[in-house]
């Protein structure tokens, strides 16, 4: 059915959690889901479908950057009839956020041309889905989990030279930086689906501490639980 995904139509749930890292998908599948099946392994993008309580969930990696997220989320929405994608990832903080704080993204601002070349979407900013965000926020309140809502900068360049991040904070009110949400939100808007992003602070432009790769992979339990519990309401 798809250029980059080998799954059959029924293999993928209508709600997908989307980390960047395939290993993070494996971790979620093994530690949070039951009756798990490997449903994709093309190019090492290992994806799994299983059950969380009474809900069928797929965890599918996006890879890094807007182009990779753009490919996989587009095909999931269009070819596999996925209705909801919640990106769960990490971010670098431009603000006074602390390590492991959880951010629910309300708007993505970008330096990417992804929207322009996909569908003539020429704005540099795009909202996440309000309905889906409301579900996540109400779930966080029920679970007693603190989340921070705000804007994120979605860059096409990880090693952005001369990054005047303070001007981005002042101009756009961004809390920090990541690399995938803009493409996800454009695809969702274009294909009339729903998408949100939850991010955990893994490092900061203001202080030196940062999470190790192992902590990034396995230290996301609180955010993963929030995303999965939110999926039960979809």
Respond yes or no: is residue 101 known to be catalytic. Answer: no
The pTM assigned to this predicted structure is 0.95
The single residue of 11, 21, 156, 203 carrying the catalytic annotation is 203
Alpha carbon of 142 to those of 74, 135, 185, 228: distances in Å?
32, 11, 26, 13
Q: Are strands 148-154 and 47-52 parallel, antiparallel or unpaired?
A: unpaired
Q: Which two tokens stand for residue 39?
A: 């449903």
Q: Find out if CATH 3.40.50.300 is the number for domain 9-231.
A: no
**In the structure encoding, which two tokens stand for residue 199, read together?**
């991010």
**Which residue in the block uniquely carries the two structure tokens 């602390």?**
98
Q: What is the pLDDT of residue 191?
A: 98
pLDDT value at residue 1: 60
For residue 220, give the DSSP letter: -
| Spans of the chain below 70 pLDDT | 1, 216-219
| CB proximity list for 42: less than 8 A, separation 6 or greater | 4, 5, 6
pLDDT reported for residue 68 = 97
Amino acid 210: pLDDT:
83
Predicted local distance difference test score (pLDDT) of residue 214: 74
Cα gap 87→200, rounded to integer Å: 11
State residue 212's pLDDT score.
80
pLDDT at 20: 95
- DSSP, collapsed to helix, strand or coil, labels residue 70 as helix
């Amino acid at each position: 059915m798809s250029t980059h995904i080998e799954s059959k139509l029924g293999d993928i749930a209508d709600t997908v959690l989307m980390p960047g890292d395939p290993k993070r998908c494996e971790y979620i599948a093994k530690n949070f889901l039951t009756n798990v099946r490997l449903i994709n392994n093309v190019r090492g993008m290992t994806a799994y479908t299983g059950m969380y309580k009474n809900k069928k969930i797929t965890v599918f990696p996006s890879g890094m950057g807007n182009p990779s997220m753009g490919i996989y989320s587009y095909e999931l929405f269009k070819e596999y009839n996925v209705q909801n994608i919640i990106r769960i990832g990490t971010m670098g903080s431009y603000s006074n956020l602390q390590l492991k704080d959880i951010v629910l993204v309300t708007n993505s601002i970008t330096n990417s041309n992804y929207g322009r070349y996909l569908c003539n979407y020429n704005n540099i900013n795009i909202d996440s889905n309000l309905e889906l965000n409301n579900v996540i926020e109400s779930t966080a309140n029920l679970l007693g989990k603190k989340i921070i809502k705000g804007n994120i900068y979605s860059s096409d360049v990880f090693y952005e030279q001369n990054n005047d991040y303070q001007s981005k904070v002042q101009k756009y009110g961004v809390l920090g930086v990541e690399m995938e949400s803009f493409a996800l939100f454009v695809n969702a808007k274009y294909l009339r689906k729903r998408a949100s992003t939850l991010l955990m602070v893994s490092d900061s432009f203001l202080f030196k501490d940062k999470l190790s790769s192992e902590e990034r992979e396995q230290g996301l339990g609180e955010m993963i639980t929030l995303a999965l519990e939110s999926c039960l309401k979809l």
